[in-house]
A and B are shown apart, each in its own frame.
Chain A
Amino acid sequence: MSDSNNSELMDLTFKSIIDALPCYIMIQDQDYKILFANQKLKSDFGDDIISLSCYSVLKGSHHQCNVCPVRKTFKDKKVHIIEETIHLSDGTVIEMIAYSAPLFDAVGNVRACIKLLVNVGTIKDTHRELVTLGQSIALLSHDIKNILEGLQGGAYVVEEGIKDADTELSGRGWDIVKKNITEITGITQNILYSAKERKPKMKIISPVEVARQTGQLFAEKASSMGIQLLLQLNPKVPRVSLDPTGISRMLGNLLWNSLQACHTNTEKSKHIVYVRVDYYDYNHFMYEVEDNAYGMDTQIRKNLFKEFFSSKGDSGTGLGLMVVERIIRNHQGKIEVLTKPGKGSLFRIIFRLDNKKLDLN
Chain B
Amino acid sequence: MVNQLKYQNILFCTDYSKDAEVAFVHAFDQASKYEAKLHIMNVILSVNPCGIKIFNKTLSKAESKIESDKIDERHSMQELGALKKVYNERCKDIIDHEFIVKVGSPDIEIITYSEDNDIDMIILGTAGRPETKRRTYVRTAANVSKYANCQVITIGSPKQ
Q: Are B135 and A281 in contact (CB under 8 A)?
A: yes
Pick the contact of A89 from B64, B71, B111, B138 — CB < 8 Å? B64
Complex interface: stretch among B2-10, B42-50, B116-124 = B42-50
Q: Are A284 and B54 in contact (CB under 8 A)?
A: no
Q: 1/0 contact trace for B53-95 toward A, CB 8 Å?
A: 1111110111111111011000000000000000000000000
What residues on B are CB-neighbors of A343 within 8 Å?
146-147
Is A87 at the interface (CB under 8 A from chain B)? yes
Q: Are B53 and A93 in contact (CB under 8 A)?
A: yes
Q: Are B57 and A46 in contact (CB under 8 A)?
A: no
Provide the bound-state CA to CA distance between A294 and B14, in Å: 30
What residues on A are CB-neighbors of B105 within 8 Å?
280, 336, 348, 350
Is A45 at the interface (CB under 8 A from chain B)? yes
Is B108 at the interface (CB under 8 A from chain A)? yes
Is A320 at the interface (CB under 8 A from chain B)? no
Is A75 at the interface (CB under 8 A from chain B)? no
Q: 1/0 contact trace for A328-344 toward B, CB 8 Å?
A: 00001110101110011
Q: Are B107 and A60 in contact (CB under 8 A)?
A: no
Query: Known contacts A338-B143, A344-B146; is A45 also within 8 Å of B52 by CB?
Result: no
Provide the bound-state CA to CA distance between A25 and B70, in Å: 29
Q: 1/0 contact trace for A205-245 toward B, CB 8 Å?
A: 00000000000000000000000000000100000000000
Q: Are A332 and B52 in contact (CB under 8 A)?
A: yes
Pick the contact of B57 from A56, A280, A340, A359 — CB < 8 Å? A359
Q: Is the interface of A mostly helix, strand, loop or mixed?
A: mixed
Q: Are A56 and B55 in contact (CB under 8 A)?
A: no
What residues on A are CB-neighbors of B147 within 8 Å?
338-340, 343, 346
Q: Are B49 and A284 in contact (CB under 8 A)?
A: yes
Query: Known contacts A279-B137, A338-B147, A343-B147; is A49 also within 8 Å of B62 by CB?
Result: yes
Provide the bound-state CA to CA distance between A359 and B51, in Å: 13
The B-contacting residues of A in range 250-287, CB under 8 angstroms, are 278-281, 284, 286
Is A52 at the interface (CB under 8 A from chain B)? yes
Query: Known contacts A49-B62, A359-B56; is A334 also within 8 Å of B51 by CB?
Result: yes
Is B17 at the interface (CB under 8 A from chain A)? no
Pick the contact of A278 from B45, B51, B70, B137 — CB < 8 Å? B137
Q: Are A89 and B137 in contact (CB under 8 A)?
A: no
B72 to chain A, nearest CB (A): 12
Is B149 at the interface (CB under 8 A from chain A)? yes
Binding site for A on B (CB under 8 A): 45, 47-58, 60-68, 70-71, 105, 107-108, 111, 135-138, 143, 146-149
| CB<8 Å pairs between A and B, sample of 26 | A45-B61, A46-B61, A87-B65, A89-B64, A93-B53, A234-B137, A278-B137, A279-B136, A281-B135, A284-B50, A333-B50, A334-B51, A336-B105, A336-B108, A338-B108, A338-B147, A340-B146, A343-B146, A343-B147, A350-B105, A352-B50, A358-B52, A359-B55, A359-B57, A360-B66, A360-B71
Given contacts A45-B61, A48-B62, A234-B137, list 17 more A-B pairs with CB under 8 A.
A46-B62, A56-B62, A59-B65, A91-B54, A280-B136, A280-B137, A280-B138, A281-B45, A281-B49, A281-B137, A333-B50, A336-B105, A338-B108, A338-B146, A344-B146, A348-B105, A359-B55
Binding site for B on A (CB under 8 A): 45-46, 48-49, 52, 56-57, 59-62, 87, 89-91, 93, 234, 278-281, 284, 286, 332-334, 336, 338-340, 343-344, 346, 348, 350-352, 357-361
